[in-house]
Structure 1
């Protein structure tokens, strides 16, 4: 959630008007009249969003935006009298999240801030969901939602059982699984022929070894079963 907003503009009346609207919406508002003051506020306070003018005394908003983007992904909205397409494109190109002309009403500006806030929340939720669906070990990644397996960025084509077997080993790296444990987890029966497991492990190893830069390997623990380990040369 965006809580603390920094207004950077040399026009005091505009800042005071915007502050009134933002305070009513529950935001904490900070003010700076130039780039130097803005940097001081950013060093002292955990700001969630910048509403930044372009034409200011001294350093421009474009320059300040560029320098901030080298260190931070904080949301930045340009608020400016410049309305040319070239100015808008430039502002977005150097890292602004939105571009608002000063002819917009305070209500519209607040609405744009809230729209950006909603996009950030949705993006964060989507990213977190995607991360939860991905299992990783070294340079092996398994997307459990799409069932796509990749090693070093290269896709590994697997059968259903091969996928289930590798997924289990990847979710518990370095843990030794016995033949019986693998049979029960993947094939659904407690006891069976260990040869079945050995055949599938052999197929998996063959496919993994064909990929360049494979930093994982399935290790045989003699007389017991298998585990997934990092390769010695990784």
Structure 2
């Protein structure tokens, strides 16, 4: 990578922080570190950070809550680093706005490679003005415009946010509970989600009864096919 990027490593384990610092610096990255969420927020206010490696299980402000706060103000790439590799945590991290989820058994070299991959995707996204293109469906992230077969359609803010979450994480299954937590602060039930998905399908699907994009995972939730 030709540019010099600054990576913020956030972990309460000093050994992991120093190990990742060494590997990242060898690869030409500038590295800043923090040992808890409060320190990380302070570092973010001091200057440009191009990518975060964020531990999930930290005392005080944990990685998920820190990500939630960061996403209120920034689209900086975030890679979660966790000792837990189960799908529930992985999907939660991605639904909160994480760009990748890495289990701590991964080698430092693999983690550096994943950082590079996320930065490449981020840079390419900026070059393409952050457009998600799924054939008939095109989403312009920078302007929040959604096009179906080249024609702009009108979505409510909630419908757009739902569609963006699905489209940015194709093939992941999002449960009713995860969607309620993210978009309704846990207030509501399955019917709340179903009504909004139904309205969204009416606007983006050629046949809402046989959806092409947002499909049901019976008894669980929904998946964006993206193909």
Aligned to 2:54: 52
Aligned to 2:103: 101
Alpha-carbon spacing, 1:124–1:14, altered in 2? closer, same or farther (3 Å):
same
Aligned to 1:115: 117
Q: Deviations over 1:128-166 (max 9, x none)?
A: 899xxxxxxxxxx9x9xxx95x6x759xxxxxxxxxxxx
The answer as to whether partners of 1:2 and 1:117 remain within 8 angstroms in 2 is no
**What is the aligned counterpart of 2:38 among 36, 39, 64?**
36
- Deviation (angstroms), 1:84: 1.0
Q: Which secondary structure state, in structure 2, belongs to the residue aligned with residue 31 of structure 1?
A: strand
Once residues 2 and 38 of structure 1 are traced to their aligned partners in structure 2, the CA distance between those partners, rounded to angstroms, is 20
**What is the aligned counterpart of 1:83 among 82, 85, 90?**
85
Alpha-carbon spacing, 1:74–1:2, altered in 2? closer, same or farther (3 Å):
farther
Once residues 85 and 52 of structure 1 are traced to their aligned partners in structure 2, the CA distance between those partners, rounded to angstroms, is 17
- Deviation (angstroms), 1:119: 1.3
The answer as to whether partners of 2:7 and 2:49 remain within 8 angstroms in 1 is yes
Aligned to 1:73: 75
**Structure 2 unpaired stretches of 5+:** 133-144, 155-227
Q: Which secondary structure state, in structure 1, belongs to the residue aligned with residue 81 of structure 2?
A: strand
Query: Cα RMSD over matched residues?
Result: 2.5
Once residues 94 and 50 of structure 2 are traced to their aligned partners in structure 1, the CA distance between those partners, rounded to angstroms, is 18
Once residues 153 and 56 of structure 1 are traced to their aligned partners in structure 2, the CA distance between those partners, rounded to angstroms, is 42
The answer as to whether partners of 1:2 and 1:48 remain within 8 angstroms in 2 is no
The answer as to whether partners of 1:9 and 1:34 remain within 8 angstroms in 2 is yes
Larger radius of gyration: 1
The answer as to whether partners of 2:8 and 2:53 remain within 8 angstroms in 1 is yes
Once residues 129 and 59 of structure 1 are traced to their aligned partners in structure 2, the CA distance between those partners, rounded to angstroms, is 33
Alpha-carbon spacing, 1:41–1:128, altered in 2? closer, same or farther (3 Å):
closer
The answer as to whether partners of 2:8 and 2:52 remain within 8 angstroms in 1 is yes
Aligned to 1:225: none
Q: Which secondary structure state, in structure 1, belongs to the residue aligned with residue 129 of structure 2?
A: helix
- Deviation (angstroms), 1:7: 0.5
Q: How does 1:1-234 map to 2 (within 5 A)?
A: 3-127=5-129, 153=153
Q: Which secondary structure state, in structure 1, belongs to the residue aligned with residue 12 of structure 2?
A: coil
Q: Deviations over 1:11-55 (max 9, x none)?
A: 001110110110011111011000010011011121111100011
Once residues 28 and 122 of structure 2 are traced to their aligned partners in structure 1, the CA distance between those partners, rounded to angstroms, is 18
Once residues 153 and 118 of structure 1 are traced to their aligned partners in structure 2, the CA distance between those partners, rounded to angstroms, is 30
What TM-score results when the alignment is normalised by the length of structure 2?
0.56
Q: 4+ runs of 1 displaced by more than 4 Å?
A: none
Q: Which secondary structure state, in structure 2, belongs to the residue aligned with residue 42 of structure 1?
A: helix
What count of residue pairs does the alignment treat as equivalent?
Answer: 138
What TM-score results when the alignment is normalised by the length of structure 1?
0.54
